[in-house]
Amino acid sequence: MRWKTHKVITGFIVFTYSKEVIATISAILGSVFPDAIEFLVYGRKIPLWKHRTLFHWLFLYALILVLIFLNTPYGVLRATCINLRIHPGTIGRVPIRILGSYLIFWFVIGAMLHILEDAITGKVPRPYSFNYKRKDWGIELFRTGSVIEWIIFVVFSILFVLSVYWRFR
C-alpha cells in the first residue's frame, strides 16, 4: 500500500474515533513509520527478505503500548478518554511526560493500523508468533498501486474530509 493511502485511511479512522487534531496528526506520522524506519535502517534499497519483517510485527508495537501504559498510565488514559483529550488550545498546560505518552500512544496506533492495512495487500509477520521473519499473515485483497487502491484512496480522502467537516462545522 502506498504512503498516501496509509495516511488517509489512518487519518480517517483516528479522527473519526478521537475527534482530535493532535491525536490524528500523531497517528498519521505513525502511519508511515513501519516503512520509513526500514529505509532508515536498511537504506533506500531494502532487501526483500527484510521488508515487512521486524518493523511490521504487531507484537512489537503492542509491547510499546504496554510499556508506555506502565510508565505513564495517565498519559494513555488521556489518549483514550474522549473528555480528557489534548486540544491545540490546552497543549501548553499539559506536563511534558503526559504529552509525550499521549503522542507516542497515537503514533503507535498509527503504526499498528499501517500493519493491518499492509495485511490486506500482502503478507506481514504473525502478531502472535515470535518468528517475525516469517511473513504469512494477511490476504491480498488488491495490489499496491492498483486501480482498486486508487479508488480506496479517493473514497477515504472524501470520508476524511467529511469527518473533519462534521466535527468543525
Binding site for Zn ion (CB under 5 A): 34-35, 118
Cell numbers standing for residue 45:
534499497
Q: Give the residue with the Cβ less far from Zn ion, 34 or 75.
A: 34
Nearer to Zn ion, 34 or 138 (CB): 34
For Zn ion, the closer of residues 35 and 149 by Cβ is 35
Minimum CB separation of residue 83 from Zn ion in Å reads 34
CA distance 18 to 161: 15
Secondary structure of the chain in HEC code, one letter for each residue = CCHHHHHHHHHHHHHHHHCCHHHHHHHHHHCCHHHHHHHHHHCCCCCCCCCCCHHHCHHHHHHHHHHHHHHCHHHHHHHHCHHHCCCCCCHHHCCHHHHHHHHHHHHHHHHHHHHHHHCCCCCEECCCCCCCCCEEECCCCCCCCCHHHHHHHHHHHHHHHHHHHHHHC
Closest distance to Zn ion from the beta carbon of 25 (Å): 20
Which residue, 120 or 164, has its beta carbon nearer to Zn ion? 120
State in angstroms the smallest separation of the CB of 35 from Zn ion.
4
Give the nearer residue to Zn ion in terms of CB position, either 78 or 114.
114
Place of cell 503478507: 123
CB of 139 to Zn ion, least distance (A): 15
Find the shortest distance in angstroms from Cβ 118 to Zn ion: 4
